[in-house]
Amino acid sequence: MKDILEGLNEEQIKAVTTTEGYVRVIAGAGSGKTKTLTHRYAYLVNELGIATSNIACVTFTNKAAKEMKNRIKEMIGDGDVGYICTFHGLGVYILREDIYVINYPDNFVILDTEDTETMLKDVYEKANLSTNKLTFDEARLAIAFFKSKFSHISFLENVDSSQLKELFEKETNVKKKVIYGYLYEQKKNFGLDFDDLITVSLYILRNYEDKRKKWQERMMYVMVDEFQDVSNLNYELAKIISDYHKNLFIVGDPDQTIYSWRGADVKYIVDFGDEYPGYTDVILSKNYRSSPEIIDAANSLIKNNKYRVPYQVEATRESNVITAYYHGKTSYEEAKWVADKIKLLHNNGIPYSMIAILYRSHYVSRSFEEELLKNKLPYVLYSGVEFYKRKEIKDVISFLRMLTVGDDLSFVRVVNEPRRNIGKKRIEILKDYAQKNQCSLYEALQENLDKEPILSTRAEDFVRVIEKYRGKYKDMRISDVITGILNDSGYEAMLRSLGDDERLENIAELKNSVFEYEKNSGEICTLEDYLRSIALYTNTDREEKQDAVKLMTIHIAKGLEFPYVFVVGLNEGIFPTGHTDTEDALEEERRLAYVAYTRAMNALFLTDSEGTNYDGSFRYPSRFIFNTDRKYLNYEVELDDALIRSASAYIANNEEVIGIPREDGLKAGDRVNHKVFGPGEIIDVRHKESCYVIKFDKFETFRNLSFRVELQKID
């Protein structure tokens, strides 16, 4: 036992040795969460003698599960570590044994994202549907909603493939037709998508008592990692399988809940005690990762959230590097400052690989990529395509090249974007013609517009747009050419119909870069010059080097750590995103900023710049800069008083619009007077719902009133 507990602090030892009942562990950033989990598993096996086959240890990523397995194998000296897996992995274990009860074979196919995408495209083709009637995003949402109600399982269980096909063919409602078609493709292949792995498992546990009892008795100890990220279905699965032995151990950090868009609900960890009174609470507050200066900044930021477990992370390291904050007049100034700091760090012996640039959304990377390339600083972009290699950006550049060059590569790329019925077969016909007549593909298209098979396409629309701008682009601003051609070609409308906000934001960022290029180039600013300059950023010959700066979104950086971190693009409309329209959403954005801060080990740099967002709004410094106590930031550039006043007014107005509760000091138990309802008593103050619960003297039942209501306190 000494070996298992060796190296653990007092809080970690309590978490490891409290084995019975319901236990919540709040694990602050960098507090040794994984170490605590693995030691607890080893303690159960080596000290208590629990078989690995009776322990479920569930987390959210395969990477985390794999790391946990490897660590535990080393500690317990046994290759069999039972049920250490993701929630989806646990679903697979249950289904491999028991899916036969819904008439599915145990060798069912697990459908990945590409499989489901292909199935959806097949459904659209068979139904002769276009995305104008129902976008793919809308179809996915309709299917997900249908499945969230468990409505699909009776079809998979009781309806055979031919019956599903018949339902699909007869259905006239577009959404229902897509759903039936999707289920038909599933049943035909005996496939389950990722959502099914959870829903079908739950269905079996809910409806088949013998199966439920078997799994409950088997899982004597249930441990759930990253509990702040559980959805209602994840939560129910953990609750059911732990309900017999009543040993549920959860660990997570509500201040790092950043996946609500994937169904995560912070309430399950914050309100754990409401469900399980008498539970044991353990706080892992000692941070072994970051310097005190970083922790001070992070703590001062996150304390602005109201819906959280109140605690503070404590730094255990020593340092004297205060967090730096830089405000640039343009995105290029911001990027240049970051590049200069990286060069300085590297000149002082810091490898590039110890440096990370983190941002809210992929499109923010554009100016930083340009500056790193310009300064020959090596970098790697994680889980995202480099800005000028992204499909929509290459498409726009290809449209522009059609005006100046009309090369075959650009032609093939955009002639069918959006779709004009010019597919592979017609492209091959044009290639044959071009080869025989020694002309470009675009010229071949022009010469065959009135002949089949080109006549029956919308090729004429494409030619009309290209010729329109070929004749006048030299007399236009480049930014106006881009706006016009995207509008006239239907390309931007296509992205809007698909609901593809990220690609639209990337195009808006490209337009911003063109505005900057035009401003910096003065009067001599041609489209040809711009395309030549862009070529510097689009060459594909640059090799990725191991010693390279890491660029990634904060969501990707979750769970990682870097000695030196730049959090960039800290602007209103970017971070928090312009889509933030509720207090819950704002608190999640602030948690995301907290995650970004706490990725840093030795030094943290925060940056923003002026300019305009894709929706035309001005880029003020983010409220998260102002949420961070001034004493914990070294302002490299002092903000103008006028800018601070304007930013503060913008933020205050925005928070009023989204219903942030006012600080009026009212609390439960206070007597208040309402101008219509009269006197009453505040029963509860619900910050999450932005309302007071009030029992007025004249009513038998209570009323929920918005924080915006005017109430006079009665002494």
Positions marked catalytic: 33-34, 225-226, 256, 599
Strands (E), 313-442: 314-315, 323-328, 355-359, 379-381
Could you count the other beta carbons within 10 Å of the beta carbon of residue 79? 8
Single-letter amino acid code for the residue at 626: F
Instruction: Note every long-range contact of 87-93, with CB atoms under 8 Å and residues 24 or more positions apart, other chains counting.
Output: 87/58, 87/60, 87/198, 87/234, 87/237, 88/194, 88/197, 88/198, 89/58, 89/62, 89/65, 90/56, 90/58, 90/201, 90/237, 91/197, 91/198, 91/200, 91/201, 91/237, 92/197
CA angle 419, 390, 130 (to 5 degrees): 25
Place of tokens 């679903």: 91
Nearest of 31, 64, 27 to residue 256 by alpha carbon = 27
- d(CA 309, CA 315) in angstroms, rounded, equals 18
- d(CA 175, CA 163) in angstroms, rounded, equals 18
- d(CA 188, CA 184) in angstroms, rounded, equals 6
217 Cβ neighbours under 8 A, 6+ residues apart? 244, 245
- d(CA 658, CA 587) in angstroms, rounded, equals 12
CA distances, 490 to each of 393, 415, 479, 494, 615 (Å): 15, 12, 17, 6, 19
Quick one: CA dihedral 154, 159, 165, 167, positive or negative?
Answer: negative
Alpha-helical segments (H) within 547-659: 554-557, 583-597, 623-627, 641-657
Question: 302 with 590: CB under 8 angstroms?
Answer: yes
- d(CA 708, CA 692) in angstroms, rounded, equals 10
